[in-house]
A and B are shown apart, each in its own frame.
Chain A
Amino acid sequence: MYAFESYHRPQSLTDAVALLAANPFARPMAGGTDILVRLREGHKDYADIVDIHGLPELEGMSADRGELRIGSGTTFAALMTSSLATRLAPMLIEAAGWVAGPQIRNTATIGGNICNGSACADSAAPLLVLNAHLDLIGPEGQRLIPLRGFHLGPGRVERRPGEILRSVRIKSEQDQGLGTAYVKYSMRQAMDIATIGCGAGVRLRDDQSNGIVDELRLAFTVAAPTPVRCPTAEAAARGLPLSQAVKAVAEALDQDVSPRTSWRAAGDFRMHIIRTLAERMIRTAAKRFASSAANHQEARTC
């Protein structure tokens, strides 16, 4: 039994928005894998529930001119078995595989993973690298905003009162011209929260993996109070050959991240892991860029 104070199950998104607007303490709940845990811990902030689980308007995936739209109610398992998502956003699929375990992935939603504001959200690094946008709907209407900037602090996001995240939108990786890679560093290989999560997107100027870095996008979870992109490191890498770029990134990363010391891990250890993962993910992403560029080349010559 969960200690709900109030519970409403709207039948439409409009009703859900109205219920949320009417009760400023209420929270939307989709998969429940975060909220129900908090509630059991005795957090009163999670006791007033607007249950949006399974709302048809939040389900499903579609693509429109290379833009992938993922309904916020999409579970991680649904993402991982979607050929559309696998083709258009392989980095997000790679990250989804790191979420908890199979049962949680069968219920936890991408919308919840974004909106709970956690600094360790597994989907955050790939979505930041892929410059995802969020489609929110609220009492004032709809708005489309970049994910970057949505996280305000631990557990806090730029979701206005009454608003519900409807979908996540991502331009396909291929259209963005990136090779990508994601890894979660955690104490266990499953059922764990990230010590550090790292995602990289790389475009090289020629087709060699040791070519010049044309664009680097680098994002971390648990490296700061919110998931972050690394503008300084990204700028430092631009125009450098890969081997120099990774060194430049390692030196510049201090400016972008601020890992804290907690009982889970010390700040200096996290910083070391951040640097190590950055190098590994940039190299992997560059390798993937090169091989997909090579395949592309091959396809054209055939």
Chain B
Amino acid sequence: MSIGQPVTRLDAEAKVTGRARYTEDLLPAGVLSAVYIRGSVAHGRVLDMDLSAALALPGVEAVFTHADVPRLLYAPAGHPFSLDPDHADVADRLLLTGHVRFHGDEIGVVVARDELTAQRAASLVAVSYEELPVLTDPREAMAEEAFAIHPGGNIVKQDGFSVGGDVDALLAQADVVVEGEYQTPVTQHCHMEPVVAHAYMEDMERITVVTSTQIPHICRRVVGQALGLDWSRVRIVKPYVGGGFGAKQDVLLEPMVAFLAWKLGRPVRMALTREESMITRTRHAMRIRGRAGFARDGRLLAMNMDAVSNTGAYASHGHSVVSAGGGKLCSMYPHAAVRFHAATVYTNLPIAGAMRGYGSPQIIFACECLLDEAAKALDMDPLDLRRINAGRPGDVNPRSGKPIETHGLADCLRLGRERFGWDERRAAAQITQAAPEIRRGVGVACFSFNSGVYPVGVEISGIRLTLNQDGCVTLQAGATEIGQGADTVFAQMAAAVLDLPVTSLRVVSTQDTDVTPFDPGAFASRQTYVVGPAVKAASLELRARILNHAALMTGYPASALDLKAGSLVATRQPARVFMSLKELALDAYYHKNRGGQLTAERSVKTRSNAPSFGCTFVEVEVDIPLCRVRVTDMLNVHDCGVVINPITAKGQAQGGMAMAIGWALYEELLVDPRSGRVRNNNLLDYKMPTFLDLPDLDVAFVQTAEPSGGFGNKSLGEPPLLSPAPAIRSAVWNATGVKADFIPLTPKALFPLFRDAGLLEGAR
């Protein structure tokens, strides 16, 4: 049984040898390089572009501007297509624009024989603008009189919900009501492979795009929409991907390289610089106001939350992000009434899109900060307060009205309390909390997440299995490997059902929309959950075909035969081996009168969405005079259902925790409010943590058995990022008595708080 085994990643050797090929390693001969001409104002209309110097530069093949591209507005968001026009993504993009909406917006493109020439030519294009008012703060952008960044105004959408009871009445009845206003920053994914793609044509009709994307099948549709082509005229190939974290759950360069290859009839590549990649997609900054009412015994009665989400210059994933975040509130503490309202607002910042957590980190930050306020007001241990409110199996999610079959949150808290040594650490930290220089503090926070997008969007997943001549089974999935280990767990699932060693599975890691089964791709922490049933169905089907062929070969009925450890055996006497799978396969392929290639392909729609849960325990050390916070110990405990692979599961958890520490303490994309220019779109000035900025990261699992998951499993990709930030903020409050209602808790941001609290007097 391969489920739950620490199976080595299937692609580990490809990657440690440097043989794994990524998009830029697959360039076709004769490929041209294209570079964007980017707007140098944050908001304005292009009045004139003088291309003469660029066109005169030797080696320049072509220059296109906003006047040359199809007048087709398209929506790049990596969502499954919706049959409901009211649910369609916001189509607000053109391939190139004459209305610059952020500093760096794409107004033209140069194609040249090499990148250096293209860059030089792009720098030679003189552009004149009619400058327009620059709006970087959503509050200004929301004002009635604000200049409209898009024709429909600056509010992309606003809506909300209220469930579980009368929030106002419950707040009025509560013994304790707490409130706060919380702010989170614009951050960036920093996938190590920049944004890259290339395209070519092999005939007059069809365009092939090779790209670093999380969503090949969505990408095909959006390229078709952006260019006005039938979708099957586009073929997307996704090789190994050097990280995405949501940035590549968006259609980025693909329509442009397809357009250029189409127009020029030659292969064209684009490889954004790190600086360009960092202004391509970001995480939404949010400002969230919340109120929560509690009974004296700690029960959360009602929570009201109002969020404003800054989506930047174009909608991309738009309102879905904050909306998805709000939706997660209802399963964590399901006994409370929840009212949630959110607005998503255009500003002249780079485009915010999907990023690991997808709105939930921000909303959970606010929610957990409110719980800490309450713990203080009620004089309770913040861990006990969460234990009291954590849902239990069978509780009903007040929003969906569906029971939560597996709810491991309380068990996560219990396990974490012990493993982390919460009570002992909390007591030990307290002793340091009057020291002038170095103080310690502890914090805890919880989260819940979903395991896909259903019922907001369709959940569809396709798997194809082929028995090879040598008895190995090739697995093709529409779901994508982007570093998280998806291919490996799919192989483990198939191996488990077919009772084969994992080494007998050959996973095709590349998705090619011409041949790969349909699946929208890697997002929403969905793949293990929604692909599981498809793998199971396809594996059972292949198993049945194998047994049927064995029946033809042996003369026994298929029901008397079984597939065990790679051999065909008698069901009642498993020790009696008829033949190996290889022998069966050779017969199926080459016998002149029977059999054929044995394959199974299943496309499965999932109509459930199990919430996953977990919590973070953290200890910090604060150097008060230096205003510096260091995370010294962190533990994440996850209920992700059955752990399919403990190595890759721990890897997901640690990576998410690391990214969360960055979000809580280090990272913010800084924008000059006047020019709208991003100041730190590089890996030196944007403070993504290095080896020396992170502690060892402890991970534990509470394994529930989720009945709706194909193998008892639930989501794990994004969840690890959700709870560390509020836990860190809480630990800093615990250590210093200073409560910050924002992240990141950088020294320069803590300095005024520490000074105003009198912590910096005398202590130096």
Contact = CB atoms under 8 A, between A and B. Distances in A.
Q: Do chains A and B touch in the complex (CB under 8 A)?
A: yes
Interface of A: 1, 3, 42, 101, 185, 187-193, 195, 250, 263-266, 268-269, 272-273, 275-276, 279
Contacts of B626: 185, 273, 276
Contacts of A268: 751
Contacts of A3: 116, 119-120
Given A42-B123, A263-B672, A189 B746 contact: no
B593 interface: no
A1 B690 contact: no
A250 B685 CA distance: 29
Given A1-B115, A264-B748, A269-B747, 5 more contacts: A187-B747, A193-B684, A195-B747, A263-B672, A263-B679
A251 to B, nearest CB: 12
A223 to B, nearest CB: 15
Nearest to A37: B684
A276 B691 contact: no
Contacts of A42: 123
Contact of A187 (B666, B679, B691, B755): B666
B689 A188 contact: yes
Interface string B685-700: 1010111110000000
A191 B625 CA distance: 23
B647 interface: no
B415 interface: no
Contact of B687 (A101, A188, A269, A279): A188
Contacts of A250: 764
Interface of B: 114-116, 119-120, 123, 625-627, 666, 670, 672, 679, 683-685, 687, 689-693, 746-748, 751-752, 755, 760, 764
24 contacts: A1-B114, A1-B115, A3-B119, A3-B120, A187-B666, A187-B687, A187-B746, A187-B747, A188-B693, A189-B690, A189-B692, A190-B691, A190-B693, A193-B684, A266-B751, A269-B627, A269-B747, A272-B627, A272-B760, A273-B627, A273-B747, A276-B625, A276-B626, A276-B764
Contacts of B684: 191-193
Contacts of B752: 269
B743 to A, nearest CB: 14
A266 B746 CA distance: 12
Contacts of A275: 764
A3 B123 CA distance: 13
Contacts of B751: 266, 268-269, 272
Contacts of B760: 272
Contact of A1 (B116, B123, B672, B683): B116
Contacts, number: 60
B38 to A, nearest CB: 13
A187 B684 CA distance: 10
B120 A269 contact: no
A101 B684 CA distance: 11
Contacts of B672: 263
A163 to B, nearest CB: 29
Interface centre among A1, A3, A187, A190 (most CB of B within 10 A): A187
5 nearest CB pairs, A to B: A189-B692, A276-B625, A1-B116, A269-B751, A190-B690
A252 to B, nearest CB: 14
A144 B666 CA distance: 43
Contacts of B746: 187
A191 B747 contact: no
A269 B748 contact: yes
A275 B751 CA distance: 14
Nearest to B691: A190
A223 B760 CA distance: 20
Contact of B690 (A101, A195, A264, A276): A101
Contacts of A101: 690
Contacts of A266: 748, 751
A190 B692 contact: yes
Nearest to B275: A41
A279 B672 CA distance: 34
Contacts of A187: 666, 687, 746-747
A3 B117 CA distance: 9
A191 B119 CA distance: 27
A250 B747 CA distance: 20
A227 B626 CA distance: 21
A49 to B, nearest CB: 15
B32 to A, nearest CB: 15
Contacts of B115: 1
Contact of B748 (A1, A265, A276): A265
Nearest to A1: B116
Contacts of B689: 188
A162 B752 CA distance: 48
Nearest to A250: B764
B278 to A, nearest CB: 14
Contacts of B755: 272
Contacts of A193: 684
A188 B746 CA distance: 11
Nearest to A277: B626
Contacts of A192: 684, 687
A188 B764 contact: no
A250 B760 CA distance: 14
B687 A263 contact: no
A186 B679 CA distance: 17
A269 B627 CA distance: 10
A269 B628 CA distance: 12
A166 B746 CA distance: 41
B709 to A, nearest CB: 39
B21 to A, nearest CB: 22
Nearest to B751: A269
Contact of A189 (B670, B679, B693): B693
A55 B289 CA distance: 62
B54 to A, nearest CB: 15
Interface centre among B116, B625, B626, B764 (most CB of A within 10 A): B764
Contacts of B687: 187-188, 192
Contacts of B690: 101, 188-191
Given A263-B672, A266-B748, A272-B751, A188 B120 contact: no
Contacts of A190: 690-693
A42 B666 CA distance: 28
Nearest to B746: A187
A268 B760 CA distance: 13
